[in-house]
Amino acid sequence: MESYDLMIIGAGAAGLTAGIYASRAKLDTVIINEGVVGGQMVLTEEVANYPGVEPVKGYTLAATMKQQAKSFGCKIRSNVKIADYELEGEIKKVTLEDGRSFQAKAVILSPGGRPRSLNIPGEDLFRGTGISYCATCDGDFFTGKDVVVVGGGNSALEEAVALTQFATKVTIVHQFDHFQAFEHAINEAQSNPKIEFIMESELREFSGNGVLQSVAVEHLPSGNRTTLETDGVFIFIGYLPNTESIKEIVPLNERNEIIVDTDMRTSVPGVFAAGDCIPKKYRQVTTAVADGTIAALSAAEFLRNGATTS
């Protein structure tokens, strides 16, 4: 059993930031991460809008955050699988599949999330080389090019409009004959001369030579398929928080996001949450960093007010 002041579950931007703040505050801290350190940052070709930082590869920024956390004394246990959580009570415990266990008086849950995928051929191959899930992150890389936006909700239409600042043409492909967005978002997209629409249709395959060059589009009522040449595809069909393993442990909302207050506290004493696993409109590295900061400071306050490692 390894004992710490604070356990952080997840090593994305939120978790690493929490680790930096907590360790610098002299809390004995461990980050337990089931995948590769960095979360969604690692999948980002380039981060160009992080304040005060020149454009940088996502995995480079993640590595820098990791090293910064470690420099303050934060321990990181990555590429492990958590088998069991015991977060009720004064002492919080986590057990790994390999039998190792950890305990602390406070926990920050930052398992992150992932964009909902189309799960069609070529998506994994061209992710990061033509396929994106974030217009704010990658829009300027498609300046003067033609792009496709997949989706029909508020995010899809709003991001399509935002992409017209960069792209020559934006084609929205949506599976229904109507949109599931607010009227103002629909009107703004429909009145934009750079935006075209392909309704009642779905993408079936991504193709290209090294980079994305075209997509196969199926018209659902007829079953007819056409090839649409494009320089990039932005997918906005929803977001999935990585909360499957903790859904019985902390309260979640209808979207399976962890419910927190403004101090990132859950309803379970000593348990906090941060990052893409909590309800939020914007999912950026900067917003995750802010969440991690607040969660770490709140956890430190919780520990100062009477919770101590046994």
> Which residues are marked as active site?
134, 137-138
How far is Cα 47 from Cα 59, in angstroms, rounded to an integer?
Answer: 9
Write phi, then psi, for 295 (nearest 5 degrees). -65, -45
HSE-up (13 A, CA, CB side) for residue 309:
17
The strand ranges marked E within the chain are 2-9, 29-32, 75-77, 82-86, 92-96, 101-109, 113-115, 131-132, 146-150, 169-173, 195-198, 201-209, 211-219, 225-229, 232-235, 239-241, 271-273
Which residue stretches of 77-179 are H helix?
123-126, 135-138, 154-163
